[in-house]
Amino acid sequence: MISHTVPFGKGYTAARDLVSLLQERGLFVSNTSRAEHFLEHIGYYRLSAYMYPLLKIPKNLHLYKEGATFEQVMMLYRFDKKLRMFLFNELEKIEVAVRCAIVNIGSFMTRDPFWMIDSANFVNQSKFLKTMDLIGHEMCRSREDFIIHFKETYSDPYPPAWIISEILPFGIITNIYNNIRDKKIKKRISQSFGLQIAPFESWLTIVTLTRNACCHHSRVWNKQNTIRPMAPNITTHPWVTLQTDSLRTYYNICIIKYFLDVISPNNDMLQKMKMLFTDFPEVDLHALGFPHGWEEEPLWRI
């Protein structure tokens, strides 16, 4: 097979030269020293994601639209940062609730505090062994007082599910759920969130990916999902009715709102989101996938 790749030939460019390059390409920079400061402390590569929407078409020419400014770039950067912080705060509530449901329902229905480390409870043994390796790794590296206390007090090699779950990353928790053998357990857990098994699994993936993006300071505001979340056929709480692009950030936000309506009825997510949008009126909500009339959706009216 013929490779069309080439060696990377670009060298390092100082912040001052990068500002000059941006100006040559048509980006208005009102304060060059301030722009240099941001490029030095945030990085050109990270900020380039917020420059991209301001480019003319075709974008590969790297020429900016008339009126595009470096202040607009920084506005988008700040908005995305605030959006990540807002979403992460809401996602934390979902993560805690999902952990509790999996642990509590799994422990109750199996009648076994150690069900998470019993291979008989899981379908795919290869995935189970990988999960056990990860559990062992987290047990070894954990310096939590409750893990140290368990090791010093009990002879069991692993703690019960409600202790193990506290040291596992959320992605491992969702993998444990996906691999549960007993469909009745999976169904009971998913139904506690008003969903069937398949959309619940799909939405947990979106929650995990969104959470990871927020944790790692990745761009969120206009990013598209690489995995299309499943649309539910049946829900116990209001869901979207308008035609909505399920690959866009708005759909992820709707998933978060749905979970919160189950976990925390009368939550203030809408109010906090509106405050964020008020602070950044220049942001085009259509870039996030918000459809016209979204505020009238049943999901946002409860």
Listed by start position, the domains of the chain span 15-68, 79-301
Consecutive 10-residue runs of the chain (302 residues): their mean pLDDT?
Answer: 82 95 98 98 96 96 97 98 97 97 98 98 98 95 95 96 96 96 98 98 96 93 93 96 96 98 96 98 95 95 80
| pTM of the complete model | 0.93
pLDDT at 9: 85
Counting Cα atoms < 13 Å in the Cβ hemisphere of 240 gives 23
Nearest to 70 by CA among 26, 29, 106, 14: 29
* Res 1: pLDDT: 66
The token duo for 185 is 């357990």
Q: What is the pLDDT of residue 76?
A: 97
Please identify which residue in the block is written with the tokens 């799909």: 202
Strand, coil or helix: what is 262?
A: helix
What was the pLDDT predicted at 201?
A: 97
Looking at residue 114, its pLDDT comes to 98
CA distances from 192 to 19, 103, 110 (A): 53, 13, 17
Rounded Cα–Cα distance for residues 251 and 58 (Å): 28
Q: How far apart are CA 51 and CA 68, in angstroms?
A: 9
Nearest alpha carbon to residue 162 among 126, 117, 213, 119 = 117
Enter the tokens of residue 199: 């959309």
Task: Give the ranges where the chain is alpha helix by DSSP (H).
Answer: 15-24, 32-41, 44-51, 70-110, 125-141, 145-153, 161-164, 170-178, 183-191, 197-215, 249-263, 269-279, 298-301
Chain-centre distance for alpha carbon 139: 25
